Amino acid sequence: MTPAASPLLSYHPSPSLPGFRLPAGACDAHVHVFGPQERFPFAPGRSFTPCEAPKEELFALHARLGIERCVVVQSTAHGLDNSVTEEVLAARKGAYVGIALVQPAIGDAALRRLDEAGFRGARFNFMRHLGAPTAIDDVIAFGKRLADLGWHLQIHFESALVHTLAAALLRSPVPVVIDHMGRIDASLGLDHADFHKLRELARDRRIWIKLSGAERASRQGAPYEDAVPFARALIEDAGDRVLWGTDWPHPNLAHVPDDGVLVDLLALIAPSEAQRQALLVDNPERLYRFEARDA
């Protein structure tokens, strides 16, 4: 696969300061880090070339937004070499954890090393723009090897695939985290078959949902309020198994989101203090095994 040319778009150079104050211990459960290429070159054969977005820029963003914890998701742009993510975890040991990209054939010793470095799960993509996927039955079988580590599977799929993947996901021996609200299209409405199936899936106790990607689901643009009803419905279905993330630096997106706007949207997504505490603090603390905060 020939890599796409470097994009003209980058992350927002000066995101707004949110008016919404995040609770203590808030977690951004979905970000990526890219480069610098001199130390962490992009993978040959990658399907896209992102902007450089090094860890220092991520740390500055989180300081501005009031985010204390983070989940760094290894990107296909860096392939199976998880060292770029591993460096971020080492720099924020305990406060930032990682999701690895691996093949099911990875050795036990390599998995244990990633666990010791702070990784908590493995991601598998079922998105056409990210290349050929691993067969879902192989992914679920691989999940058996993750159970002893306390890891989970993270699955990223096109919305229409929820119908064909659901049965396999319900056989998973470990928790399953579904990315970006199942990549729904907000213009299709709450009654669309894809979202209906996602809600049905979310009622199973092994399924977790990331309420990230409002900027991808929206068809109205910022401040992305047309995506809010979908996130609120998922909180209704699985309030103790929802997570939230910025998806910084927003790769493969046709516009540059303001991460301060995404934080302010949380006031609509999770209007009660109890919902925000679960979404941003308690749920990620439980799934990612962050150290509990003092009451």
pLDDT of residue 8 exceeding 50, the answer is no
pLDDT of residue 200 exceeding 50, the answer is yes
Looking at residue 132, what is its pLDDT?
66
Is residue 234 in some structural domain?
yes
Looking at residue 131, what is its pLDDT?
62
Q: Which residues of 225-248 are buried (b: 16+ CB within 10 A; e: fewer)?
A: ebbbebbbbbbebbeebbbbbbbb
pLDDT tens across 256-267, in order? 999 999 999 999
Which residue range(s) make up the domain with 126? 27-288
Segment 271-283 mean pLDDT: 98
Is residue 13 in some structural domain?
no
Segment 164-180 mean pLDDT: 98
Segment 22-29 mean pLDDT: 98
| Total of domains in the chain | 1
pLDDT of residue 109 exceeding 80, the answer is yes
Map tokens 């501005």 to a residue: 64
Segment 273-279 mean pLDDT: 98
When comparing pLDDT for 2 and 101, which is higher? 101
Is the separation of the CB atoms in 182 and 194 below 8 Å? yes
Segment 49-70 mean pLDDT: 97
When pLDDT is cut at 50, 70 and 90, the band that residue 295 belongs to is low
To the query of whether residue 247 is one of the catalytic residues in this protein, the response is yes
How many residues make up the chain in this entry? 295
Looking at residue 291, what is its pLDDT?
83
Looking at residue 294, what is its pLDDT?
61
Is residue 12 in some structural domain?
no
Containing 177, the helix (H) or strand (E) segment is strand 176-178
Beta strands at 207-210 and 242-243: parallel, antiparallel or unpaired: parallel
Is residue 293 in some structural domain?
no
CA–CA gap between residue 64 and residue 79 (Å, rounded): 29
pLDDT of residue 2 exceeding 50, the answer is no
When pLDDT is cut at 50, 70 and 90, the band that residue 1 belongs to is very low
Q: What percent of the chain has pLDDT over 70?
A: 95
pLDDT of residue 240 exceeding 60, the answer is yes
Segment 35-60 mean pLDDT: 94
Is residue 206 in some structural domain?
yes
Segment 24-41 mean pLDDT: 97
Is residue 186 in some structural domain?
yes
Is residue 136 in some structural domain?
yes
Segment 176-190 mean pLDDT: 98
CA–CA gap between residue 26 and residue 9 (Å, rounded): 28
The domain spanning residue 117 has which CATH number? Answer: 3.20.20.140
DSSP assignment of 92-154: TBTTEEEEE---TT--HHHHHHHHHHTEEEEEEEE-GGG-PPPPHHHHHHHHHHHGGGT-EEE
Is residue 70 in some structural domain?
yes
Q: Which residues pair with 17 in a beta bridge?
A: none
Catalytic residue among 247, 258, 259, 282: 247
pLDDT tens across 67-107, in order? 999 999 999 999 999 999 999 999 999 999 999 999 999 99
Containing 275, the helix (H) or strand (E) segment is helix 273-277
Segment 114-133 mean pLDDT: 89
